[in-house]
Chain A
Amino acid sequence: MNGVNGTMVELRSVTKRFGPCTAVDDVSLAIHPGEFITLLGPSGCGKTTLLRLLAGFETPDHGAVFLDGAEVTHLPPYRRNVNQVFQSYALFPHMNVRDNIGFGLRMQRVPEAEAATRIREVIEMVSLTGMEDRQPHQLSGGQRQRVALARALICRPKVLLLDEPLSALDAKLRHAMQLELKRLQRLLGLTFVYVTHDQEEALTMSDRIALMNRGRIEQLDDTFAIYHKPRTAFAADFLGQANLLNADLVSRNGTTALVRLPDGLEFTINSGELPAGARRVLVSIRPEKIYISKRRVHAVNVFIARIEEEIFQGAMDQLLLVTESGTQLHALAANESAMQKAFHEGDRVYCGLHLDDIVIVQAE
């Protein structure tokens, strides 16, 4: 059964302070059943504290926490039907894999025969068959991670909380586990609340991302929107790369507006998100959205720039552009030919920018 309005987890104006520092500042958040939501942000942004408030390791100073329609604000962790995968895995070092995984069932006093079946199923699910009698110190990092996951999943929680569970793994294994976690989440139809500071990981796995900064949720959106429609400078900068540029509003013209950079360069942008009376804006331009060519470009916004720096990155070329009037812009260009480089340092190139690719993140 799902809670009111199809909400599995709800935070209502939750605040948590540690001494003088406010870790979570008046946060409200509703998480849907079966959703993979990621709390993303730099270290110290309050994402881990928020997770701990859901797990029950912390109690909020203000506000309330609801799980599946019932208030759990003051329930201790052992009375909440949520389970956590810890960053350090926190396996019980004195128990083998089977006993680690079966711990939750023993606490719930599940009959032994049923427990044995469920342990076998979950061990199969996380591909740990044959490892049952190993001690945690005999396992690799990836295997420990699977034990931690199995140990939490076997309790059939309503919500699975994951606190940077992949941060200790090497890049390749991490990527494989990202896909596996996502697959598992879809298979089980379980609500996942995932904490990470890795924006790529967040984009790969999540349905929605809650981008956090200084104890607040800066932006809550699906992955597509949060990447393409950042609503603050922080959001634009934290997720992916962004060129953040200040500009003055010159004129409005129906659905478009003309803005001028400090160096005199003018861009036409969508005026849809522009509040009436705004005079200055901060715009974000993703590096990969700048179309670069040696030949003339036909686009709404066209300008000429010199390639100051060119760094080969395999699939992409990372370029630092300087416009004729002196503005620096980061750009990414696909490496289309394996025969020769398309761009070299010192080249003069045409740059094109589509209307929709200049996003207003701030207006005043």
Chain B
Amino acid sequence: MNAPVRAGPPGDGVGEAMEADDTPVPAAAELDRRKPRLLAWLLLAPLLVWLAGFVVAPTAILFVYSFCERDEVGRVVYHFTWDNYRRVFDPIYLHIFWRSILYAGLTTVICVVIGYPVAYFIARAREEWRHKLLLLVMIPFWTSFLIRTYAWITILKQEGLLNGFLQSLALPVAPLDLLYTPTAVVIGLVYAYLPFMILPIYGSAEKLENAVIEAAYDLGAGPLRAFSAVIVPLTMPGIAAGTLLVFVPAIGMFAITDLMGGAKVPMIGNVIQNQFLQARDWPFGAALGVVFMLMFAVTYWIVQRRGAQMA
């Protein structure tokens, strides 16, 4: 099976090139081979420089900082300590970690529930419609993320569009107190990440052979069983990729929690942002960041493994 997500760990390309080095090369062939290999390295060079500068170096700095101390004005002091990691496991932060996982998890589930039918419908639509529908999914990206989030504030606030609409219907539930609640945060997260769920599911649903679904019907599977026994397993790579693309960024999101949650329900992203900006405690922020990254890695690994088992 193809890995659902192409982006491997940084340095993947390097690893492959090194492996080629390990294989014994007959002496006669060596001269012939050296030239293309040099060329390959040269072609790879821009990517390697980019990876080194923007992935490896920042991660290394973060890692080093997480074991340092800070002085009174917030400068990093290079003196080894485990303190930052000890503080990460303080109940306050564990609680925020949990909340982040919960919100991101809820967001992912809602995105699957809403995104799957949309993606499936688009993938099964007639060819000339497919591209137009896909365009509709992507149109929001043409506007700045922050502006779209402010638009949601306008909709959800107490005198906003939603409450105005509900009041005009004279429903007794209005006015709803939605903005600056966890509900608003999850609404904002779902809105922001839904396309990242739809696109990969569309990718695998589009490849689904119609005859395979017909075969399921033909063999006595009703729509529900055809869906659960054939369609879902065959689109699982898309669901797995979508889950990664939604869950991982959602867990670290800070702008939506600030704007739509009114900073009342901070997620782990907010805490890290605060350590670097307001609290000026870079080593602690770095430690949170490292733990956070490890969590991503584990999630990624689990999803990949599940995906591989499915196929």
Contacts and interface: CB of A to CB of B under 8 A. Distances in A.
Contacts of A78: 217-222, 226
Interface in A88-136: 88, 90-94, 103-104, 106-108
Given A94-B234, A94-B311, A77 B211 contact: no
A148 B311 CA distance: 20
Given A92-B212, A92-B230, A93-B234, A84 B310 contact: no
B234 A90 contact: no
B138 interface: no
A90 B217 contact: no
Interface string B207-230: 001011011111111100110011
Given A88-B209, A88-B211, A107-B225, A94 B310 contact: yes
A93 B209 CA distance: 10
Interface residues of B, number: 20
A8 interface: no
B211 A83 contact: no
B218 A83 contact: yes
A329 interface: no
Contacts of B214: 55, 57, 77, 84, 86, 90
A208 interface: no
A107 B219 contact: yes
A106 B233 CA distance: 16
Contacts of B225: 107
B212 A151 contact: no
Nearest to B233: A94
Given A92-B230, A93-B234, A94-B311, A103 B217 contact: no
B219 A104 contact: yes
Contacts of A50: none
A131 B241 CA distance: 32
Contacts of A84: 214-215, 218
Contacts of B216: 92, 103
Nearest to A99: B229
A262 interface: no
A155 interface: yes
Interface in A150-202: 151-152, 155
B267 to A, nearest CB: 36
Interface of B: 209, 211-212, 214-222, 225-226, 229-230, 233-234, 310-311
Given A86-B211, A88-B211, A91-B215, 6 more contacts: A83-B218, A86-B215, A87-B211, A94-B311, A104-B220, A155-B220
5 nearest CB pairs, A to B? A107-B220, A90-B211, A104-B219, A90-B215, A77-B217
